[in-house]
Amino acid sequence: MGEFIIEGGRPLRGSLQVQGAKNSVLPILAATILHSGVSVLHHCPRLRDVDASIRILRQLGCRADWEGDDLVVDASTMVCSQIPDHLMREMRSSVIFLGAILSRCGEAELSLPGGCELGPRPIDLHLAALRQLGAEIDEGGGRLHCRAGDMCGREITLSIPSVGATENALLTACGCEGVTTIFNAAREPEIDDLQRFLRAMGHQVQGAGTSVVTVAGRSPTHDLEHTVMPDRIVAATYLAAVAAAGGEVELKGVDYRHLSTVIAALHEAGCRIHSTGSAVLLRSTGELKGVRPIRTAPYPGFPTDAQAVLMASLLKSKGTTVFVENIFENRYRHVDELCRMGADIRVEGRVAVVCGVERLRGAAVEATDLRGGAAMVVAALSAEGRSRIGSIHHVQRGYENIVGDLSALGACISLEA
């Protein structure tokens, strides 16, 4: 399993190319089965969740292999439309394969994904969207038995702009005759990246990034290459780390528009931030101040995935910051661990109040989930002394090389097996 060992209290300085986005490449990997041929993914991050997706693709009969930094998927050999329990349980977002398998095979069988550290992870919106398209779905015994039924292009509406449900509906619509319009679609940049991938494959998709997405289904498809967008949450993590520890960093390949709410908060906290077309530069004295309430919301609101790392960067700020977590019901599990470092945080339901303290002390803490673990790293970098962070498998789900990246900025961080 391993632990991160961090000696905090050092300023960070340097330039980084940000890895490919986990939350873009996972739906894209599912989408590769929409074409009975080859998809080449450039800038694909090597993550535990990508490994889990590769295992699912191979289980379905596809070939999926690394060629240098490219992940090459050949879905022409796909023979199966079922995903066994043990593979579904490896990754909560494996449900994203449902729409793609249904599109390709006209049927799909997979188990209900488990919950996760963030609380129950229902898929009712996914199933409602697919049923609006005409899919026949039986839920029984923890398994989903899905058939295309009289699936065809239709107007469908999501009751909330769910990222996963939007992606599942989009991939299902690609296999439906006629035009599908998805109202109240999620507007996250990762859906825009998925649309670029699908268009490169030959599908006629438009509107991603807005709340109305349309698909003209059953287009002829062909082999394609795609470069995965940079990971905006990894970028937010590194900006938060330098903001708290002090120093300066240039993050290359990042579209600042994808981070506007995070950049606004760090600017208000006292950082100097400059954005160019393809990079974000941040300078910080390490002396931050509290900011106006941070309320997480669907894009373009403040991203729930950046809540923990921003909180970690403000633990020694002058003043108080209120967080309101509106997306997930259990996304403050990192708070108790941060308090072991001397943070002063009080949680009441969806609200967390962070009162800045003079100093943080290195401690032995546990990563509670993917972004909570990243928050431990951010806090440890600005704490005095040594921290040990356990259960780092959570962090390795979404960060390709957090030790290498932060070491390149001068951090004293290592992985101890």
Binding site for ligand EPZ (CB under 6 A): 22-23, 26, 93, 121-126, 160, 162-165, 186, 304-305, 327-328, 370-371, 398
Output the smallest distance, CB 236 to ligand EPZ, in A. 11
Output the smallest distance, CB 292 to ligand EPZ, in A. 21
116 classed as catalytic: yes
Contact 415, 402 (CB under 8 A): no
The nearer residue to ligand EPZ, 23 or 368, going by C-beta atoms, is 23
The nearer residue to ligand EPZ, 168 or 317, going by C-beta atoms, is 168
Residue among 62, 105, 116, 412 flagged as catalytic: 116
Q: How far is CA 282 from CA 9, 122, 126, 262, 342, in A?
A: 18, 38, 39, 12, 26
The nearer residue to ligand EPZ, 128 or 322, going by C-beta atoms, is 128
The nearer residue to ligand EPZ, 286 or 303, going by C-beta atoms, is 303
Q: What are the residues facing 147 on neighbouring strands?
A: 107, 136
Q: Counting beta carbons within 10 angstroms of the beta carbon of residue 268, is it exposed (0 to 12), middle (13 to 18) or buried (19 or more)?
A: middle
Output the smallest distance, CB 130 to ligand EPZ, in A. 11
The nearer residue to ligand EPZ, 239 or 271, going by C-beta atoms, is 239
The nearer residue to ligand EPZ, 43 or 126, going by C-beta atoms, is 126
Q: How far is CA 107 from CA 37, 76, 104, in A?
A: 20, 17, 8
Distance (Å, rounded) from C-alpha 50 to C-alpha 322?
34
Contact 97, 59 (CB under 8 A): no
Output the smallest distance, CB 369 to ligand EPZ, in A. 8
Per-residue tokens: 337: 């661990």
Distance (Å, rounded) from C-alpha 390 to C-alpha 184?
39
Q: Could you tell me which residues come within 8 angstroms of residue 238 by beta carbon, excluding any fewer than 6 positions away?
A: 16, 18, 249, 251, 405, 406, 409
Residue nearest to ligand EPZ (CB): 164
Distance (Å, rounded) from C-alpha 154 to C-alpha 415?
51
Output the smallest distance, CB 299 to ligand EPZ, in A. 7
The alpha carbon of residue 332 and the mean position of all alpha carbons in its chain are separated, in whole angstroms, by: 17
Output the smallest distance, CB 394 to ligand EPZ, in A. 10
Distance (Å, rounded) from C-alpha 375 to C-alpha 337?
10
Which residues are catalytic, by number?
A: 116
